[in-house]
Chains A and B, each alone.
Chain A
Amino acid sequence: MAEIIKLTTPLDDSQVKKCRAGDNVLITGPIYTARDAAHKKLVDLLDAGKPLPVDLTGHLIYYVGPSPTRPGQAIGSAGPTTSYRMDPYAPKILQAGSKGMIGKGEMGKGVADALQKYTGVYLTSVGGAAALIAKSIKSSKVVAYEELGAEAIVLLMVENFPAIVSQDCYGGNSFVEGLKKYRING
């Protein structure tokens, strides 16, 4: 692991290419949230050749379902949800210009291939470090699909949001490599 990489969103290819599986990063700038229902809507629009309600170019998508926001706070606790549920959608989101996503747990082969093809990065934030993560979120604003309630697309402004590169644009995969490295047989 090298020193901590600072990422400023929206990302360009050169920033994505600096990220290697296992690296720690701190993200600053805007990121969009989207879960299952929003992904379905976005991909339906893409399939129909229609414009998206938000420009995803260079953006990271965060898979999150926060706890309720207290008055005076930007958001409630906001740790990642399990990513593989977005496996069917993520390649199309990357194709549309997104530079990656943030969630927890491993993503599938289709996503790994798309990360290489479109120069994207999959980051994991720490499941259960939701209070710590919330501290790095400075504001939140619903920008699309308000009718979806908790599943609406929300624009977050983050500052030094902590994450770990787990699947990179070179095919690197920390889940596979980490297990191999630390497994003791017998």
Chain B
Amino acid sequence: MREINYNDLVANVAKICIDANYNLGQDVIDALQKHLATEESPTGKAILQQIIENAAIAREGVFPLCQDTGFAVFFVNLGQEVHIKGGSLNDAIAEGVRKGYGDGFLRKSIVADPLRRVNTKDNTPPIIWTEIVPGDKLNVTIAPKGGGSENMSEVAMLTPADGAEGVKKFVVDKVSRAGGNPCPPVIVGVGIGGTFEKVAWLAKKSLLRPVGSRNPDQFYADMELELLDKINKLGIGPQGLGGRTTALDVHIEAYPCHIASLPASVNIQCHSARHKSFEL
């Protein structure tokens, strides 16, 4: 057993909460630059320019990228030979969130109950997806998720007869109906297969991949590019005000599924596509 200190974990979690909310990934910035060069709409261009400038200002560490600093969603790979000394994994992550969102002047956007709606005032609890993996390392990724784009997400239980065409239609329709609400340009996460809950998780997980990366399976890599092309023909454009840049990328993750099912999901990520990781 390899031991990892609880307090080290808390400190590292707090650090990535802040890091993610102030430092936009270079993959996203590169994609924005690329589209700035090709966007035909003058309004669209001006918006992309502002988003790029915004990232530079946020990087100075005073103003977070967006005032909605999100639900703190974590993906954890826990090596089965790791033991956390001094407390539990989930407690350490929650404490890290409390510290990071406090020290980083990040907005507290979580209510303790979905219907009674009293703010928890420290942005906890986080959402934690843990996978136990071989080895003695602990890898933690945060993906803070804003409300505007999360609200524009959906799961559909399609039938096997719907096939690839049915999935593509579902995805494009969803992005089309979302319009300007999720702060386009967006990154479209798509899950295909598994079960009802697994497919939503797949879409969210796909958003962790760098913008511009393709699914290793050529079949899905081709589908990603086909969907990206279709979505960027919709004309929604930056902020929904018209243009060619509606999505920066489409990521698909697939999983085996039941002979009777074809689950599909869309999880939309706004351009404030924040994620940061650490390994202990």
Contacts of B180 in A (CB 8 A): 104-106, 175
Partner of B240, one of A22, A64, A178, A183: A178
CB distance from A154 to the nearest CB of B (A): 13
Q: Is the CB of B65 within 8 A of A175?
A: no
Is B139 an interface position by the 8 A CB rule? no
A24-B46, A105-B179, A164-B43 as given contacts; A178 in contact with B237, CB under 8 Å: yes
Contacts of B238 in A (CB 8 A): 126
Query: Which of A40-48, A74-82, A94-102, A109-117 lines the interface with chain B?
Result: A74-82
Partner of A130, one of B43, B66, B233, B242: B66
Is B235 an interface position by the 8 A CB rule? yes
- Range of interface residues on chain B? 35 or more
Among B215-240, those with CB < 8 Å from A are 233-240
Contacts of A119 in B (CB 8 A): none
Partner of B66, one of A77, A166, A182: A77
Among B186-232, those with CB < 8 Å from A are none
Q: Is the CB of A183 within 8 A of B67?
A: no
Contacts of A82 in B (CB 8 A): 148, 181
Q: How far is the CA of A147 from the CA of B44 in the complex (A)?
A: 39
Query: Which of B56-64, B74-82, B110-118, B255-263 lines the interface with chain A?
Result: B56-64
| Smallest CB gap from B180: residue in A | A105
Contacts of B105 in A (CB 8 A): 67-70, 76
CB distance from B192 to the nearest CB of A (A): 24
Is A54 an interface position by the 8 A CB rule? no
Contacts of B270 in A (CB 8 A): 127-128
Q: Is the CB of B43 within 8 A of A68?
A: no
**B interface majority secondary structure:** loop
Task: Pick the most buried of A79, A126, A180, A185: most chain B CB atoms within 10 A of its CB.
Answer: A126
A76-B64, A106-B180, A182-B41 as given contacts; A126 in contact with B237, CB under 8 Å: no
Q: How far is the CA of A22 from the CA of B241 in the complex (A)?
A: 8
Query: Could you tell me how many residues of chain A have their Cβ less than 8 Å away from some Cβ of chain B?
Result: 44
Q: How far is the CA of A175 from the CA of B135 in the complex (A)?
A: 52
Query: Which of B1-9, B47-55, B92-100, B167-175 lines the interface with chain A?
Result: B47-55
A104-B180, A105-B180, A179-B236 as given contacts; A131 in contact with B65, CB under 8 Å: yes
Partner of A180, one of B179, B235, B244: B235
Q: How far is the CA of A122 from the CA of B104 in the complex (A)?
A: 33
A sample of 10 inter-chain contacts (CB < 8 A) reads: A68-B105, A77-B63, A106-B240, A128-B54, A130-B54, A131-B62, A132-B54, A178-B243, A181-B41, A183-B233
Q: Which residues of A contact B (CB under 8 A)?
A: 1, 22, 24, 64-70, 73, 76-79, 82, 104-106, 124, 126-132, 134-135, 162, 164, 166, 174-175, 177-186
Pairs of residues from A and B, 6 with the lowest C-beta to C-beta distance, nearest first: A178-B242, A183-B235, A131-B63, A182-B235, A127-B183, A184-B233
Q: Which residues of B contact A (CB under 8 A)?
A: 40-43, 46-47, 50-51, 53-54, 57-58, 62-69, 105-107, 148, 179-181, 183, 233-244, 270-272
Additional A-B contact list (19), CB under 8 Å, known A67-B106, A124-B241, A135-B63:
A1-B42, A65-B67, A66-B67, A70-B105, A76-B64, A79-B66, A105-B180, A127-B239, A128-B65, A130-B63, A130-B68, A131-B66, A132-B53, A178-B242, A179-B240, A181-B235, A181-B242, A182-B41, A186-B233
